[in-house]
A and B are shown apart, each in its own frame.
Chain A
Amino acid sequence: MDATLVAELSAALSPDRVHTDQLEQVLYGRDASLMRGDTGVVCFPLTTAEVQACIRTALRHDRAVVPRGSGTGLAGGAVPLEQPVLIVTTKMTDIEVDVDNRVAWVQPGVINLDLTRHLRPLGFHFAPDPSSQQSCSLGGNIANNSGGPHCLAYGVTSAHVVAVEVVLPDGELTMLGGLGADPAGLDLRGAFVGSEGCMGIATRIAVRLTPNPPAVATLLADFVEPAHAAAAVSAIIAAGVVPAAIEMMDQRITQAVEAFVGAGYPIDAGAIVLIEVDGLPGGVAAETAKVREVCMAQGARSVRVAADEAERMLLWKGRKTAFGAVARVKPNYYLHDTVVPRTKLLDVLQQVYAIADRHDLIVMNVFHAGDGNLHPLLVFDAREPGILDRVHAAGEEIVRASLEAGGVLSGEHGIGLEKQPFMALQFTQPDLDAQARLRDAFDPDGRCNPAKVLPQGSRCGDLAHLDAHHRERLLADGVWV
């Protein structure tokens, strides 16, 4: 480790917030994906000025910077490569509510659920609710343009971000967007949201406050056939109802979850669909009746409406702890994230089962069905020889099947390192080149989270600042796993 780099960072922050020890190296070497990187210095700034100081120090030492929130990302976005200066935002947790403007200014390390809890007494919440909301940070949500069950009706993170204060990769501070109705110029705020840490570091974010709905109903529809469940999802939307959420779980995951938390799910169901409608009482009553009618017409065995808040919370607890439940089946999982047109849901789901069978793998499906956002979960024991090759091969086939159905590579987890090689399947060279230019406008020298998202060679001169040897190491197979 470069001692002067560490000394300068320690002087700029404070020695107890600049770490290089072994434990940190391991801990911050990965996110929630299977990839492991090469950790450098781990910094914990408290303020925007300290983030600037970290970036400027890194610049002087010709090191890249990598922003990191809670490390729950599933695409390797926060995985450090080549010992960068890792800027961890977990100590930046201030919240300032501005009710008159219906926004909250938050520091990036604020945990998603903490914000919603903070807003509850005021009658508001932050609408995007990733299943990881107990631990993921708002900085990470913004960088990944995260979604969640309730994004079906409310839209993903981008629709809820009004302004972002950003330290640019050259250390300059800027404000993208603003509280005013029509900020002048191009929508740079929109470009930054979803930029996976490649366009600078968000240090303060103005997020929109969503009023809590006066009425909510949560329904559990129980199907013998997964095919009927998938058909019901399309039929609900086709009937002109856009529920707040439509989540589907297949039999394997339903059984695992039921054994784990006892959510009251029917374990003999082929698939269950969790539907939430919210808003004013009239609409909630009308949509509850409509959803029930559609599900029954599509072959549901039963449709149960949660009788009270306790039952509602229990139904959701099952959904939100699904990934924890999986650990009791096998020690490891690989969670995929693709989107397909809603009308192709059933077709692609059947292909997913066939692919898993062919590779002799267990697959479980728990996903944001209303958006067509598939989350096939391959569960395995990494100690089994050769299994990772099968997991990766199956994953690639799932990605291809989704794209061939007219879908996209990622609905909410992002590209990071994980899906970089597949970008060229979805986009042509001019498409990728245009994305590279967008990134270059923010980070012309590739200083911030370099070598992520876009595949190598998206633009002439891409990765130009890295020598050939360096490049080989970055893209070597060692990065994967």
Chain B
Amino acid sequence: MSAGHGPLAPLPDRVVRDPALLAFADEVGGVDAGPVAIEGGRTQWHLGGHCEPGTRLVRAPAGVVAFEPAEMTIQVRAGTTLDELDAALEPAGQRVALQGLPGTATVGGVLSVGLSGPTRLGHGHLRETLLQARYVSAEGLLVTAGGATVKNVTGFDLCRVLVGSFGTLGLLGEVILRTRPRPQAAAWLSGPADPTALFDRLYRPVSLLWDGATVWLYLEGYPEDVEAQTAIALEAGLVPVDGPPPLPSGRHSAEPAALRSYRPDAPRSGRFVAEFGVGVVHGEWSGPTQAPPDASVVALNGRLKNLFDPTGRLNPGRDPLTPSNGKADHR
């Protein structure tokens, strides 16, 4: 391909024209407009540190922009709640893999916090659902990251760093998410069983929770397959139940292998529910459970923040380096 081009201009459809997004960008404003953060459903408001006093709170625009079932993607504004998202997809027999998260949470909030719900074992990390994000930068400009198609490696992958950034790099206005068909059958089972043995016998269970004595297993799929996998679980001593146990409010991160013989270290004690195969431990205790990140990782986080938000006006007080250590009251 020849390099002898003059400067090329973006195709007309790549320039944002949605009045709701333009108004949102105006509201956020540029560096002169001072500290600003988004208020979503406030379901995880305390996470990642406390919002600094004097920060102006704004709301992301809401609503479904486009849904084409045959593309298996949906374009929604970031202030849309998970319930609204699900209602739009349900008639087409589809959903987004953001299961087990509160319905009043917003799409933008869930992505900005970046913590998956308890079906991550089967559905994958929630970041895999994000194909394109439109956000307002610290300079008050609308930026598009990623692209509308399921497959895309065009340029550097900004969507990745936006998920879990707590709105410290940019404020999400609109996203395109990947959808999936809803399963034809689903079942929760529970009972006292060895999660390791069960995990090794089942084929890609959607969720396997364990509190040190009892397991909760969630299966999805075609009816015959769910039946066959259920038979394995029944044989292991499980019985059908309505759903998962209540999850303790602290969230801690471990390596999946560590859960094979998991016991909370002293002085922590109390109830826990571990996501087997994933490594998330919901425990009644709070406080850090992970070794602090390496200095090189801290430095990279800092450099990225400084390059994206040199004046520190986006969600001051919040820091993605600390999110999963605190208490999370998600119910």
Residues of A within 8 A of B (CB): 98, 100-102, 144-145, 147, 151, 155-156, 158-159, 168, 172-176, 179-191, 193-195, 198, 211, 213-214, 234-235, 237-238, 240-242, 279-283, 285-286, 339-343, 368, 371-373, 389, 392, 395-396, 403-404, 406-415, 418-428, 430-432, 434-435, 437-442, 444, 453-454, 475-477, 479-480
Instruction: Take A186-B164, A428-B15 as given contacts and tell me if A194 and B150 are in contact as well, using a CB distance cutoff of 8 Å.
Output: no
By a CB distance below 8 angstroms, the chain B residues around A151 are 151
A194 touches B157 (CB 8 A): yes
**B148 to chain A: which residues have CB within 8 Å?**
341, 406-408
B301 touches A186 (CB 8 A): yes
User: Are B257 and A339 in contact (CB-based, < 8 A)?
Assistant: no
Q: Tell me whether B256 and A190 are in contact (CB under 8 A).
A: no
In whole angstroms, what is the CA distance A475 to B201 when docked? 56
Ordered by A's residue number, 8 sampled pairs between the chains whose C-beta atoms are within 8 Å are A102-B256, A181-B275, A190-B160, A193-B157, A339-B150, A428-B14, A444-B303, A454-B155
Q: In the assembled complex, how far is the CB of residue B9 from the closest CB belonging to chain A, in whole angstroms?
A: 7
Chain B contact residue count (CB 8 A cutoff): 96
Check B155 against A240 for contact (C-beta < 8 Å).
Answer: no
What's the nearest-Cβ distance from chain A to residue B200, in Å? Answer: 9
Task: Tell me if A425 and B11 are in contact (CB < 8 A).
Answer: yes
A426 vs B148: C-alpha distance in the bound complex, in angstroms?
11
Number of A-B contacts (CB under 8 A): 301
Q: A182 contacts B324, CB within 8 Å?
A: yes
Residue of B nearest to A420 (CB): B3
Find out whether the CB atom of A194 lies under 8 angstroms from the CB atom of B164: no
Q: Which of B3, B125, B277, B321 sits near A480, CB closer than 8 Å?
A: B3
A282-B228, A395-B1 are known; give 14 further A-B pairs, CB within 8 A.
Answer: A100-B256, A174-B297, A185-B320, A186-B164, A187-B164, A191-B158, A279-B204, A282-B221, A282-B225, A339-B147, A403-B11, A421-B8, A422-B1, A427-B155
Residues of B contacting A418 with CB < 8 Å? 1
Assuming A190-B160, A280-B228, is B71 touching A343 (CB within 8 A)?
yes
The answer on a CB contact under 8 Å between A187 and B163 is: yes
Inter-chain contact B2/A480, CB cutoff 8 Å = yes
Q: How far is the CA of A176 from the CA of B293 in the complex (A)?
A: 10
User: Contact string, B102-124, partner A, CB cutoff 8 A, digits 1/0?
Assistant: 00000000000011000000001
Q: Which B-chain residue is minimally distant from A337 (CB atoms)?
A: B153
Which of the 9-residue segments B33-41, B135-143, B264-272 touches chain A?
B135-143
Instruction: Point out which of A185, A211, A342 has the most chain B C-beta atoms below 10 A from its C-beta.
Output: A185
Cβ B253 vs Cβ A181 within 8 A = yes
Residue of B nearest to A238 (CB): B70
Residue B23, interface by CB 8 Å: no
Partner pick for B70 among A286, A342, A408, A413, CB 8 A cutoff: A342
